[in-house]
A and B are shown apart, each in its own frame.
Chain A
Amino acid sequence: MTSQTLTAAPPVRAPSVQSSLQRSRQRMAWLLVAPALLVLLAIAGWPLLRTIWFSLTDAQLGDLTQMQFVGLDNYIGENGVLRDAEWWSAVANTLQFSVISVTLETVLGLSVALLLNTPSRARTLLRAAVLVPWAIPTIVSAKMWSWMLNDQYGVINVMLQGLGLIDTPLAFIADPDLSFFTIILVDVWKTTPFMALLMLAALQMVPTDCYEAARVDGVPRWRVFTHITLPLILPAVLVAMVFRALDALRVFDLIYVMTSNSRLTKSMSVYVREQLVDFQQVGFGSASATVLFLIIVLFTVAYMAFTRRRMQGV
C-alpha cells in the first residue's frame, strides 16, 4: 500500500494555523469513517465474538438464550470437532480444492491474459466473451454444468462419445471418483476470467521500453517472458492468487448445489452450516466455525510474513 499523503493543505500559511487546520481535518476524517466502522463492528465484529463465545457452550439453535459453559469440550472433548474424522475430511477436501483450482486458474488465467494483451482485432471480442462466465451466478453455473454433465442426457457425454474418447457415458456428479474433479472444473471455468483480468492489468503496467530494449538486443520471445515479464508481474500474480485462495477456502454454494451432502466433496463451510442449521448444534458448529476462521487467519498471516520477508530481501 502506498503511504503517500494527500492532504490538501493550502501552500502558504503560518505553521500553527496549518497544524490546527490539519488537526480538524483529521477529526473530520474519523467522523466520516465512523458510520462505516460502526456498521462493520455491528455486523462482523460482534457476531464473530459471539460465535467464539457460543463455541464454548452447549447452545442449541432453537433457543439461543439458554446455554451452559462447557469450556473446550466442543473442540477437544470426546465428541469435539478436532476428533471428528468427518471434519478433517472436510478440511482435506477444502485444501485440495483450493490448491488445485487456484493453481489451474493461475496458469489458465495467465494464458488468457497473454492472449488479451496481444494487439489484434479479436481482442475486444475475446474480452467480452471472457466476461460472460464471470457474470453468471454461481448457482446458475452449477445448474448449467449439472445439466451438461448429466449422465443420461448430458451434451458433454455425447460429445466425448462422438469423439471416441469414452465408450459409455460418465456419471460426472454421481461417480465418487469424478465428482471432486467436476466441481473443480466448474469452479475453474467460472473464476479463470477474474484471474485473467487481474493479470491483464498487471501485464499492461509493464513499461513498453523494457520490451523494446529486449527486441533491439534480439532476445528470444520466451526469454523475454521468463526474464522480464514474469518477474515484473509476479507481485500482482501473488496478490491475485491470495484473493482467489481466500475465496476458494470458503467455498460453499457450488458444492452445496452440485453434490449437496456427499461426504466425498463436503467443504469446511458446508460442514459448519450443516452442524449449525441442519443439526441445530450451535455450540459444536461454532467451534468448527472458529477453527475454520483460525485456519484462514493462519494462512493470511503466513502469507503476509512471507511477502514482508521477500520485500526486505529485495
Chain B
Amino acid sequence: MKKHPVETLLYYLAVALVMVISLFPFFYTISSSLKRGSELFSTSLWPEHPSFSNYAKLFQDQPFGDYLLNSVLVSGGAVLLSLGVAVLAAYALGRVSFRGRGVLMMTILGVSMFPQVAILSGLFELVRGLGLYDHLGALVLTDLIFTLPFTIWVLVTFMRELPKELEEAALMDGAGVFTLIFRIFMPLLLPALAATSLLAFIGAWNEFLFALTFTISPEQRTVPIAISMISGGSSFELPWGTIMAASVIVTVPLILLVLLCQRQIVSGLTAGAVKG
C-alpha cells in the first residue's frame, strides 16, 4: 500500500519522539556523572571538561567494588540454582502429560505473581532460623521466590517447541531421561537458557525489598541498597554526581547484555506471558 508522505513524516516524528523519551534520561545520567564540581548544577547537556572524578570518589567513599561483587554473587547464585532445578521441572511440565500438571503450572505462576511483602514476616523467621540473617545466602534463597517460577514458566514454553521425533528416537535408543534432558535437549535450548538466565539475573540484580530487610552490615550490601544509601552531609546536599556515576556503572552492563541478546530476550519475555 502506498503511503501518503505526510503519514510517513508523522511516523518518523513519532519514532523520534519515542526514541528521545526512552534514551534522554540515561544520556543525561551519563553526562551528569562526567560533570565535575559546580558544573553539575549547570544543566548543560554535555560537560565542557568531562572528568571521571565522580567515579573515583564513588570507589573512595565506600567499597563499591565489594558491593558489585556481592550483587554478582547473589544474582549468579540465584540464577544457577534456579536453572538446575527448573530444567528438570520444565521437562516434566512441558513434555509429559500427567494429572495435576495444569494445577502445578498455575501454582507456579501464582507464586511468581504474588506480593513478596505478604510473606515477609514468615521469611524473616525462616532466614533467622537458618542462621542466614545478614548474610548474602539469605538473598540467594529468597530471590529464588521469583527467579525459580519465572525460569520454569519460560523454559516450559521452550521445551514444548522441541520436535517430538527427537525425543522418540532418543527413547527408542534406550537413552535415559537425564541423557535426554542434558545431552540432547540442553544444547538445543542454549539460546533459550541464555535469555532466561539473563532475565532472571536482571530480576535478582534489581531486587531491593529482601536486601533491605535481610541484610544490615555494609559487608553484605548489594548495589541497589548501596545506591539508595549514598548520602551527603544532609538530605539537602545529596552527592548527585556520585549517585549518577554509580547508576551508570550498574546499568551499562545490563543494557549491553540486553541489546546483545535482544532477539532471545523478546521471545523469552513473550513466551512467559502471551503464549502461557
The chain A residues found within 8 Å of chain B, CB to CB, are 1, 3, 5-8, 10, 25-26, 28-30, 32-33, 35-37, 39-40, 42-44, 46-51, 54, 59, 61, 64, 111-112, 115, 118, 120, 122, 125-141, 143-145, 147-148, 150, 152-155, 158, 189, 193-194, 197-198, 200-202, 205, 215, 236, 239-240, 243, 246-247, 249-250, 252-253, 256-257, 268-269, 272-273, 276-277, 282, 285-286, 289-290, 292-293, 296, 300
Contact = CB atoms under 8 A, between A and B. Distances in A.
B116 A125 contact: no
Identify whether the interface residues of B are mostly helix, strand, loop, or mixed: helix
Contact of B117 (A50, A143, A158, A252): A252
15 contacts: A1-B276, A36-B88, A39-B148, A42-B126, A43-B126, A44-B111, A126-B19, A131-B255, A140-B227, A189-B21, A200-B266, A201-B270, A246-B114, A253-B208, A292-B118
Contact of B120 (A128, A130, A141, A289): A289
Interface in B19-69: 19, 21-23, 25-26, 28-29, 32, 40-41, 43
Interface in B133-171: 141-142, 144-145, 148-149, 152, 160, 164, 167-168, 171
A130 B273 contact: no
B122 A136 contact: no
Contacts of B111: 40, 44
A151 to B, nearest CB: 11
Nearest to B108: A40
Q: Which of B119, B123, B205, B266 has the most CB of A within 10 A?
A: B119
Interface of B: 1, 11-12, 14-15, 18-19, 21-23, 25-26, 28-29, 32, 40-41, 43, 85-86, 88-89, 91-99, 101-102, 104-105, 107-108, 110-111, 113-126, 128, 141-142, 144-145, 148-149, 152, 160, 164, 167-168, 171-172, 177, 202, 205-206, 208-209, 212-213, 224, 227-228, 240, 243-244, 247, 250-251, 254-255, 258-259, 262, 265-266, 269-270, 273-274, 276
Nearest to A294: B118
A189 to B, nearest CB: 7
A253 B207 CA distance: 9
Nearest to A201: B270
B250 A29 contact: no
A158 B208 contact: no
Contact of A48 (B41, B97, B119, B243): B119
Nearest to B84: A35
A51 B118 contact: yes
B104 A131 contact: no
Given A215-B1, A252-B208, A147 B224 contact: no
A54 B85 contact: no
Contacts of A129: 18-19, 22-23
Nearest to B247: A140
Given A8-B164, A64-B125, A112 B251 contact: no
B274 A139 contact: no
A158 B43 contact: yes
B208 to A, nearest CB: 4
Given A46-B122, A46-B126, A137-B251, A269 B22 contact: no
A144 B259 contact: no
Given A10-B172, A64-B124, 13 more contacts: A10-B168, A26-B98, A33-B89, A43-B141, A128-B262, A134-B258, A136-B26, A147-B243, A189-B21, A252-B208, A256-B228, A269-B115, A282-B124
A131 B41 contact: no
A7 B96 contact: yes
B92 A28 contact: yes
Given A28-B96, A136-B254, A289 B121 contact: yes
Give me the 6 closest cross-chain CB pairs, A-B, nearest first: A47-B122, A50-B122, A250-B115, A201-B270, A5-B97, A29-B92
A285 B122 CA distance: 11
A43 B206 contact: no
Given A135-B258, A189-B21, A250-B117, A122 B273 contact: no
Nearest to A52: B122
A6 B98 contact: no
Given A10-B172, A47-B122, A138 B206 contact: yes
Contacts of B160: 6
A153 B41 contact: yes
Contacts of A5: 97
B28 A148 contact: yes
A50 B167 contact: no
A185 B7 CA distance: 29
Contact of A49 (B102, B122, B152, B168): B122
Contact of A54 (B99, B121, B128): B121
Q: Which of A111, A155, A268, A269 has the most CB of B within 10 A?
A: A155
A133 B251 CA distance: 10
Contact of B164 (A6, A112, A150): A6
Given A8-B95, A115-B15, A139-B206, A54 B228 contact: no
B28 to A, nearest CB: 6
Contacts of B95: 6-8
B171 A112 contact: no
A137 B96 contact: no
A191 B86 CA distance: 27
B15 A39 contact: no
Given A33-B89, A120-B11, A250 B270 contact: no
